[in-house]
Amino acid sequence: MPDDPTVPVTGSAAVAPVTAAEPPLRRLAAPHGLALGTAVDLTALAEDPAYRAWVAEQFDTVTAENAMKWAELEPTRGRYEWGPTDAFFAFAQANGQRVRGHTLVWHNQNPAWLADVPPDELGDVLKTHVQTTVRRFKGRVWQWDVVNEAFEDDGTLRDTVWLRALGPGYLADAFRWAHEADPDALLFYNDYDVEDVNAKSDGVYDLVRELVRQDVPIHGVGVQAHCSVRHAPTTLPENLRRFDALGLHTAVTEADVRVALPSDPVKSQAQANVYRSLLRACLLTPRCLSFTVWGYTDKYSWVPGWFEGEGAAGILDENFAAKPADRALREDLSFGGARRRS
């Protein structure tokens, strides 16, 4: 991306960066071999120049918040709607950003027509979806979240349409299908509440260790890191290290840290401390490739709609003003030498 903030980005007039006096987060992360990313609301990207400018300036990897989910891509069976994602990829390319593809196989946000597919056809339908999508973006997606949220909290496989129809083998098949469609993409398993060493992350660990043993093309594990100041991870470094020891990459894929509303300076500082701990865990793990915040500004956050009485989960407030969390990330990326990479 050009250093000159007056260079226009695709499809909008140039807008001065919010933190024009400071280096972008992406530049601070680069010496560590770490990609710094955000989830992107495509409506805000199209309609809000300030939002768009900050995405273009600050981040070197982007994830479509919803536009690459199955229900959005194929709302009618056999009819794909690629327009929004094509615009998203054009934006990313224009700003030198790598894309995380989210997500291929999930029990949620599937098209309504899927409910009418007979169980004995679901395997072929899923394979077609995975390979059509991956081939569409072949060579343009850095990391794919191939399978998303397949585990219950107790470490057992979630009872989904895929498990019921296809059995547990669907997990390995999904990675094989994606790899066939794009052999160069990095393929991730992704889940929430797996930041700590716990029953759920143990289940994920056992799965991916077995996939590695079977030479299934899995390359990484994503920990979402949807956190709160009341329930912050305590064993994330140890957890990431055990996946690292399997030869797998890791990534913090959807970080946000919610607080009880209304926020105040004490809660904001506590939030910053959680963000700092998430980033440090990634920096301490040689094969942790990227750190992605799930939307950087409270203006477009999903959190208040899902967690009653909680919110203010981003690193910027609703007016794009930096919070202590933004400062915490910048400080940790600014200090210290480049980390050791394996």
Domains annotated for the chain, with CATH where assigned, are: 25-334 (3.20.20.80)
| DSSP per-residue letters across 213-245 | HTT----EEEE--EEETTB--SSHHHHHHHHHH
Looking at residue 238, its amino acid is: E
- Strand bridging mode 226-228 / 220-223: unpaired
CA distances from 82 to 66, 109, 117, 132, 137 (A): 13, 17, 23, 11, 10
d(CA 330, CA 26): 10
Q: Contact at 8 Å (CB) between 316 and 17?
A: no
Q: What is the radius of gyration, based on Cα positions, of the chain?
A: 19
Query: Which pLDDT tens digits describe the chain residue by residue (342 residues)?
Result: 323 322 223 333 233 334 457 899 999 999 999 999 999 999 999 999 999 999 999 999 999 999 999 999 999 999 999 999 999 999 999 999 999 999 999 999 999 999 999 999 999 999 999 999 999 999 999 999 999 999 999 999 999 999 999 999 999 999 999 999 999 999 999 999 999 999 999 999 999 999 999 999 999 999 999 999 998 999 999 999 999 999 999 999 999 999 999 999 999 999 999 999 999 999 999 999 999 999 999 999 999 999 999 999 999 999 999 999 999 999 999 986 555 554
Which of 165, 169, 114 lies closest to 147 in space, CA to CA?
A: 169
Catalytic site residue from 254, 308, 318, 331 = 254
Q: How many whole angstroms separate alpha carbon 24 and alpha carbon 32?
A: 14
Residue 206 corresponds to which tokens in the numbers above? 């056992």
Phi, psi angle pair for 297, to nearest 5°? -115, 140
Q: What is the structure's pLDDT at 3?
A: 31
Catalytic residue among 57, 65, 149, 195: 149
Largest interatomic CA distance in the chain:
59
**Whether 308 is catalytic:** no
Beta strands 226-228; 249-260: pairing state? parallel
Look up the pTM and report it: 0.93
The amino acid that residue 210 corresponds to is E
Backbone φ and ψ of 189, nearest 5° = -95, 140
149 is catalytic: yes
3-state secondary structure of 260: strand
